[in-house]
């Protein structure tokens, strides 16, 4: 399509020209006239009539979504008018850049173009230690940290689309990757928590906050402070004695606020510690019975925006109750939902879409103005950011509509990403396997634990016992389904290479441990011989193909730092499969009387498996791979 821009378009031209990389249009003098002008209201109207286009925009960032809407609908209709009213003041994704996957700058720019088309106006960069801090060379050392220049480059690029980049850092807890170094021992209370009430800590924080915010035009900063349950319980306790955690937290917050005030920054922070510390249990931010006292309100400094995070609840009334709790703290909070891309190879769209729909509906009703969607990367991030795009599109559509029409949402997803919604929903099937209740509403990650578990130890074999053949058939069918649905011409086609190859592995590996244990217990020597001579070697070959696909995907999207963690996992998996061949062969050849690992009774990994609608969950690779000691964890201080 050829387009001739008219009206007030010059300020938007750099961004519009960049969008030509994503959608099929060219700016030409003989193109369809498209007039862009500022609206007197916050509404945006996109029209096409008599062969001409018109965009009346409320805010600058609306223009880029409007360009996409015009092209999308003018290809199908000769006349149309679309009116959109933004529901939130701020909306955008939060990218977890601290769990090894640090997006390459060119890939981040690609994501920003997608965000502009969708209609987002902000993004948070969650960086625990993945940015440079002068005088602290171990901060982000060998972690793929962004340089100041790289962050400025990203901010400059986002500006073309009127997208605000906001640094989201940690100023209390979640600093394990920095505090592990000897060079930072003097700043440590526990493994991940800073030692409060000492000058050195606040001198460090001053440099850290300055470094994190300097490259960005935004004067907003998210200072974290979530999940700091260990505060005051390590070196602080030994050195200074006991002090109430709530007092420690609020005193520390005031000192951090002095730093941000000096830098003229607007501060956001996670709210969970306040709600946890006033709950009866002391550790439940979702306790509906928690009462908020007036004294509690007074402990939160003025001009600190609390951010309520919740990726779990599926009922609107739960969100309403918890937003009300936050309002009792003296303000309407910002909200952070989530698309479940973390701790699995899959993307749990069953849970993600239901929680997001309930949360966003209630955020509108309760007057929440700032909404973010988190893309966490816990335990090394085997998944990728692009697999969440269907979920991101849902958040974008909620920004412009009171209620979201499914067909329109799916059509926008296809236009903005080049992929059908069904392609993204297939990713859900990596974990939504036989034995998992319809909707996949519990945390369950079989695509991860069935891959990494040891074939001789079978820590999760009880979880699929009885449905193991159905599970194998499920993955076999899923491999075919993904392969048939792929389109080589689509730029994002490459993100389905890993799910396809993983399904191929799990079609054979998922049930091999159960087959092996049964054959061993029943002295089925021919079956054991077939496992060692044929099945395990085939699995090894398939794992190598999966590893190569995964490595290519990682290096396409992310900096190389952190891939070594996943590489080691694949290497360990292959080594253990080779060891299994050796031990079973020695047993069959009479070189040992028994295989001790296979003598052991199989127990479920999760003792309360019968109380969940899923197939169990583990947050950590090293627990999936072995029940033995991977590393010795010393006391928290």
Token pair of 631 as six digits: 């590393």
Which residue did the predictor score with more confidence, 76 or 207? Answer: 207
State residue 297's pLDDT score. 79
Residue 633 pLDDT level (bands cut at 50, 70, 90):
low
State residue 286's pLDDT score. 83
d(C-alpha 157, C-alpha 138), whole Å: 28
The kind and range of the H/E element at 352 are helix 349-365
Buried b (16+ CB within 10 A) or exposed e, 576-591: bbeebbebbeebbeee
State residue 636's pLDDT score. 53
- Of all residues in the chain, the percent with pLDDT exceeding 90 is 92
Q: Is residue 635's pLDDT more than 70?
A: no
- What is the average pLDDT score of the chain? 96
Which residues, 6 or more positions from 545, have their beta carbon under 8 angstroms from its beta carbon?
A: 501, 504
Residue 290 pLDDT level (bands cut at 50, 70, 90):
confident
- Between the CA atoms of 395, 356, 104 and 23, what dihedral angle is there, to the nearest 10 degrees? -30
State residue 542's pLDDT score. 98
d(C-alpha 145, C-alpha 255), whole Å: 26
Phi–psi pair at 545, nearest 5 degrees: -65, -40
Instruction: Tell me the DSSP string of 268-328.
Output: EEE-HHHHHHHSSSSS-TT-TTPPPPHHHHHHSPTTEEEEEE-SS---HHHHHHHHHHHHT
State residue 287's pLDDT score. 81
Q: Average pLDDT of 466-479?
A: 98
d(C-alpha 389, C-alpha 102), whole Å: 18
Q: CB of 70 within 8 A of CB of 46?
A: yes
* Nearest alpha carbon to residue 608 among 438, 458, 440, 442: 442
The kind and range of the H/E element at 123 are strand 122-126
State residue 631's pLDDT score. 77
Sign of CA dihedral 228, 234, 235, 239: positive
Q: CB of 13 within 8 A of CB of 5?
A: yes
DSSP state of 104: -
Token pair of 133 as six digits: 């801090």
- Tell me the three state secondary structure of residue 628: coil
Which residues, 6 or more positions from 298, have their beta carbon under 8 angstroms from its beta carbon?
A: none
d(C-alpha 111, C-alpha 385), whole Å: 9
* Nearest alpha carbon to residue 483 among 510, 502, 470: 502
d(C-alpha 464, C-alpha 478), whole Å: 17
Q: CB of 193 within 8 A of CB of 184?
A: no
Q: Is residue 298's pLDDT more than 90?
A: no
Q: How far is CA 328 from CA 252, 282, 321, 334, 361, in A?
A: 22, 18, 11, 14, 20
Residue 165 pLDDT level (bands cut at 50, 70, 90):
very high
State residue 300's pLDDT score. 85
d(C-alpha 408, C-alpha 404), whole Å: 8
Q: Are strands 44-49 and 52-57 parallel, antiparallel or unpaired?
A: antiparallel
Instruction: Tell me the DSSP string of 59-75.
Output: STTHHHHHHHHHHHHHT
Q: Average pLDDT of 246-250?
A: 93
Sign of CA dihedral 485, 488, 492, 498: positive
Q: In a 10 Å sphere around its CB, with 0-12 CB exposed, 13-18 middle and 19+ buried, how is residue 527 labelled?
A: middle
Q: CB of 105 within 8 A of CB of 43?
A: no
d(C-alpha 417, C-alpha 492), whole Å: 8
Which residues, 6 or more positions from 632, have their beta carbon under 8 angstroms from its beta carbon?
A: none
State residue 58's pLDDT score. 96
d(C-alpha 6, C-alpha 207), whole Å: 47
Q: What is the pLDDT of residues 34-68, one digit of tens each?
A: 999 999 999 999 999 999 999 999 999 999 999 99
Q: Average pLDDT of 4-32?
A: 97
Angle at alpha carbon of residue 267, lines to 266 and 273, rounded to 5°: 165
Q: Is residue 299's pLDDT more than 90?
A: no
Q: What is the pLDDT of residues 538-585, one digit of tens each?
A: 999 999 999 999 999 999 999 999 999 999 999 999 999 999 999 999
DSSP state of 238: H
Phi–psi pair at 160, nearest 5 degrees: -60, -25
d(C-alpha 18, C-alpha 599), whole Å: 62
Q: What is the number of residues in the chain?
A: 637
d(C-alpha 91, C-alpha 203), whole Å: 33
Q: CB of 451 within 8 A of CB of 379?
A: no
Q: What is the pLDDT of residues 138-160, one digit of tens each?
A: 999 999 999 999 999 999 999 99
Q: For the chain, report the end-to-end CA distance as a whole number of angstroms.
A: 63
Q: What is the pLDDT of residues 400-446, one digit of tens each?
A: 999 999 999 999 999 999 999 999 999 999 999 999 999 999 889 99
Token pair of 220 as six digits: 């907003």
Q: What is the pLDDT of residues 361-383, one digit of tens each?
A: 999 999 999 999 999 999 999 99
Q: Is residue 289's pLDDT more than 90?
A: no
* Nearest alpha carbon to residue 269 among 171, 176, 161, 189: 171
Tell me the domains of the chain and their CATH numbers. Answer: 2-84 (3.30.160.230), 97-108+122-155+166-417 (3.20.20.80), 431-625 (1.20.120.670)
Q: What is the pLDDT of residues 483-527, one digit of tens each?
A: 999 999 999 999 999 999 999 999 999 999 999 999 999 999 999
State residue 243's pLDDT score. 95
Q: CB of 537 within 8 A of CB of 581?
A: yes
pTM above 0.95, yes or no: yes
């Amino acid at each position: 399509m050829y387009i001739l821009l008219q009206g007030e378009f010059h300020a938007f031209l750099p961004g519009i020209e960049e969008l030509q990389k994503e959608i099929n249009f060219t700016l030409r003098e003989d193109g369809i006239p498209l007039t862009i002008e500022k609206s007197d209201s916050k509404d945006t109207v996109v029209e096409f009539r008599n062969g001409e286009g018109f965009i009346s925009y409320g805010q600058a960032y609306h223009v880029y979504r409007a360009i996409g809407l015009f092209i999308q609908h003018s290809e199908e209709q000769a006349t149309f008018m679309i009116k959109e009213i933004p529901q939130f003041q701020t909306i955008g994704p939060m990218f977890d850049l601290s769990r090894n996957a640090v997006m390459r700058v060119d890939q981040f720019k690609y994501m920003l173009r997608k965000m502009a088309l969708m209609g987002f106006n902000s993004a948070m960069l969650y960086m625990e230690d993945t940015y440079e801090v002068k005088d602290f060379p171990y901060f982000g050392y060998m972690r793929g940290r962004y340089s100041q220049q790289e962050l400025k480059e990203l901010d400059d690029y986002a500006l073309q689309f009127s997208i605000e980049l906001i640094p989201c850092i940690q100023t209390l807890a979640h600093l394990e990757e920095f505090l592990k170094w000897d060079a930072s021992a003097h700043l440590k209370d526990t493994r991940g928590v800073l030692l409060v009430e000492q000058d050195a800590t606040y001198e460090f924080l001053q440099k850290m906050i300055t470094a994190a915010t300097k490259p960005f035009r935004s004067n907003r900063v998210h200072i974290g402070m979530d999940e700091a349950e260990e505060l005051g319980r390590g070196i602080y306790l030994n050195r200074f004695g006991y002090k109430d955690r709530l007092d420690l937290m609020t005193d520390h917050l005031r000192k951090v606020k002095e730093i941000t005030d000096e830098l003229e920054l607007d501060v956001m922070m996670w709210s969970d510690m306040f709600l946890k510390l006033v709950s009866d249990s002391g550790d439940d931010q979702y306790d509906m019975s928690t009462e908020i006292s007036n004294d509690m309100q007074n402990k939160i400094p003025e001009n600190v925006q609390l951010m309520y995070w919740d990726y779990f609840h599926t009922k609107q009334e739960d969100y309403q109750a918890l937003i009300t709790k936050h309002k009792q703290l003296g303000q309407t909070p910002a909200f952070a939902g989530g698309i479940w891309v973390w701790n699995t190879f899959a993307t749990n769209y069953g849970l993600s879409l239901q929680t997001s729909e309930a949360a966003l509906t209630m955020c509108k009703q309760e007057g929440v103005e700032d909404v973010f969607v988190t893309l966490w990367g816990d335990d090394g991030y085997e998944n990728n950011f692009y697999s969440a795009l269907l979920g991101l599109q849902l958040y974008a559509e909620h920004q412009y509509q009171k209620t979201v029409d499914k067909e329109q949402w799916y059509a926008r997803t296809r236009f903005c990403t080049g992929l059908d919604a069904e392609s993204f929903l297939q990713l859900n099937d990596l974990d939504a396997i036989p034995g998992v209740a319809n909707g996949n509403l519990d945390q369950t990650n079989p695509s991860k634990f069935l891959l990494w578990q040891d074939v001789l130890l079978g820590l999760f074999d009880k979880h699929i016992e009885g449905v193991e053949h159905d599970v194998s058939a499920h993955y076999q069918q899923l491999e075919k389904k993904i392969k048939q649905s792929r389109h080589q011409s689509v730029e994002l086609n490459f993100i389905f290479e890993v799910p396809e190859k993983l399904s191929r592995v799990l079609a054979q590996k998922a049930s091999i441990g159960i087959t092996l244990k049964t054959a061993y217990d029943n002295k089925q020597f021919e079956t054991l011989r077939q496992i060692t001579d044929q099945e395990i070697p085939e699995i090894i070959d398939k794992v190598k193909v999966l590893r190569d696909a995964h490595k290519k995907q990682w290096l396409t999207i992310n900096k190389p730092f952190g891939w070594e963690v996943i590489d080691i996992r694949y290497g360990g998996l292959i080594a253990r499969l080779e060891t299994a061949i050796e031990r079973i062969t020695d047993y069959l050849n009479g070189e040992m009387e028994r295989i001790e690992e296979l003598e052991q009774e199989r127990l479920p990994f999760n003792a309360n498996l019968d109380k969940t609608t899923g197939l169990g969950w583990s947050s950590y690779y090293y627990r999936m791979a072995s029940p033995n000691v991977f590393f010795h964890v010393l006391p928290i201080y």
